[in-house]
Amino acid sequence: MKQIDDLLQFLKAAAEKTRLRLLVLCREGELSVSELMQITGQSQPRISRHLKVLVDAGLLTRFREGTHAYYRLSESGKWLVLLQTLVSTVPFDDDIISGDAKRLNDVKRHRASKALEFFNRNASQWDSIRALHMDDSQVEHAFKALWPQKSVHRFLDIGTGTGRILEMVAPKVEKGIGIDMSRDMLAVARVNLERAGIKNCYVRHGNMNGLAFSDESFDLITFHLVLHYAESPGHALREASRVLRDGGSIVVIDFTTHQEADLAEERGHKWLGFGDEEMFTWQEEAGLERRSAVTLSGSSLKIKLWPAVKIPAKQERGYQ
């Protein structure tokens, strides 16, 4: 009877015009309450009530980012196939649904405009740092060469920035998540993923020192030019190792040791790059087995990729 009751709750939650509209909209990406109000033309209390019903029934997933709550179509649960079938069956040539789609595009354009404003305000400082090392394509090429041979179901990009790494790996993973401390950067990344039509990757506000994920959640994790901001890189690596599955990989992409002191004074870098010895020590302390590192030559700065694999607990203790 419990399964029948759950199914009935699922069906009742979806069987209402506004809630069906919300499901169709959230299928297209993550949307806030205010954005859903703007699209549907309905009040905040009404939209919030409908969203609560949908979340409680498992049709939508809710997450908070600062003062905003965002919603997306659920990606798990026993009624997932039914949910996907239901949403795809909605007639998109219906006047109400097509009107929602047009207003959704307006919301996305507004998002893109705000993200572009932030990006342009900060482009000069990013360009000045980028000029110190090689073109991003070299880093991407080197990272692709380190891709694990086994399947990557869940991927985590720590310090996702504009979401470029997520865009690159999207075709190779079932689900990708990028975290960043900057909500402005998350807005840029979210727009970039939407523009690329990527629906299996998304971004979240998060801190590398306290990852909001359960143990052994990911197959592959990257630190992309972010570990130099950590007060304790060793702690950040141990935290990443916690959420990495046995046999999974971590790749740190960062600067080698350098003398560009301005990056600490003006850009907040806690570390002026890293040396092999300290990186290998942190990896070992995190229960990681290092692999061959790759150095890329830049102008003033060099970038290095330090890959490592998580050692299964029994093997780490010396058992066979």
**Residue 302 backbone class (left: φ over 0; alpha: ψ -120 to 50; beta: rest):** beta
| Confidence (pLDDT) at 136 | 72
- The pTM of this model reads 0.76
- In eight-state DSSP terms, residue 133 is S
Whole-angstrom distance, CA of residue 246 vs CA of residue 44: 45
Q: Are strands 218-224 and 244-255 parallel, antiparallel or unpaired?
A: parallel
Domains of the chain: 2-105 (1.10.10.10), 132-316 (3.40.50.150)
| Confidence (pLDDT) at 29 | 84
Whole-angstrom distance, CA of residue 114 vs CA of residue 118: 7
Q: Which two tokens stand for residue 152?
A: 């990557």
Compute and round to an integer the Cα radius of gyration of the chain: 22
Each residue's pLDDT expressed in tens, for the chain with a length of 320 residues: 677 888 888 889 899 999 999 999 999 888 999 999 999 999 999 999 999 999 999 999 998 876 778 899 988 778 888 888 888 898 888 899 999 999 999 998 888 887 667 656 665 555 455 555 556 788 888 999 999 888 899 999 999 988 999 999 999 999 999 999 888 888 889 989 998 999 999 999 899 999 999 999 999 999 988 899 888 999 999 999 999 999 999 999 998 988 777 766 666 788 888 999 999 999 999 999 999 999 987 667 788 999 999 988 655 544 44
